[in-house]
Amino acid sequence: MNQVYFDNAATTPIREEVIEVMTQVMKHHYGNASSSHSFGRASKALIEKSRKTIAGYLNVSAGEIIFTSGGTEADNLVLRSAVRDLNVTHIITSKIEHHAILHTSQQLQKEYNISISYVNIDKTGQIDYAHLEKLLDTEKKTLVSLMHVNNEIGNVLDIKRVAIICKTYKALFHSDTVQSVGHFTLDLQEIPIDFLAASAHKFHGPKGVGFVFIRKNSGLKPLIFGGEQERGFRAGTESVHNIVGIGEALRLAYDNLESERSYVQGLKKHFIYRLQKEIPNIYFNGCSGDLEKSTYTLVNVCLPVSAEKSAMLLFQLDLKGIACSKGSACQSGSSQVSHVLAEFLSAEDLQKPSVRFSFSIYNTIEEVDYLISVLISLIQSKE
């Protein structure tokens, strides 16, 4: 049986080069980076080298990069400190954000009695920028949190436009860029954003490490207290091998960005073409079928299948060796409808199976063709 992995939006395989670098660090650089002896200084140097590498690709200063356990911790750090320490009383977000934003905002509302506003989206999941401006026309101290690339439908936010709008209204702007860092160039001197979150395992790095960009002099304060690691923002002994891994993964992602993006986009284009040609009545959720308005890494497709077939579709794909998901990996074990799709699909379409297929440099045209053949077989079967 073929084993085909099309769930790269959930996590990506680690590059061999990254594994090799991390292995060498684990073997030879085991000193605590807070120690003053040579072993500790060697580990500290590796951490700072990785920090400078990341800062260079984002065009920011190294001191504005703080390592975390991943995107969720980074999102929590920004939202919690903004409310607790920066006197934010109003969060503007959307109902199609990752749960790291939605659930954190709702918890902050309970704890601090802040207000939450949700910007309107259209039938393709696009943000209504005019409505965002209307929501920003307030005297309240406001934080806007909108993701750059939606993890379920792949829509790409005009992040620079939102940053400029927020600056105009003197609001703070945070973006969950977990699906875009390593896949899109972000010059944070050109984009006046205050905070962003990223995670290594979305661009062929290790799990359990990410970073938060915190604009200098923002006033943000720690979420985790203890030692003085990470410039006091994030206490705890640093995971040196993971930090080296994220730096190396990002370096490889950006050094090879053009050629790898062209390759992966070719897979997506081929997939869309064959789906439209061979499966009548299929359609794409959000803007995921539009190569200009969505990320090149994923497609979210609604299949013309009965409710009876829908219930077992992912299981049947898994039996054929195909890994994919119905939405965020964080809710893959849930029987609930995707909160993202529920915002703009009709009740009838929500009964049909919507599946997210996400691609990487390790996929092939042959794998895409195998996936198409399996989908056709499952749709046409009478069982």
Q: CB neighbours of 319 closer than 8 A, spacing ≥ 6?
A: none
Indicate the residue type of 124.
Answer: T
Task: Please give the Cα distance from 72 to 248 (Å, whole number).
Answer: 21
Q: Is 330 a residue of the active site?
A: yes
Indicate the residue type of 294.
Answer: S
Catalytic residue, chosen from 287, 302, 324, 330, is 330
Nearest to 191, CA basis, from 169, 215, 209, 212: 215
- Give the sheet arrangement for strand 142-145, strand by strand: 65-68, 210-214, 195-199, 172-176, 142-145, 90-93, 115-118
Q: How many helices (H) and strands (E) does the chain have?
A: 12, 12
Lookup: tokens for 57: 């690709």
Q: CB neighbours of 366 closer than 8 A, spacing ≥ 6?
A: none
CB 368 within 8 A of CB 269: no
Which residues are known to be catalytic? 330
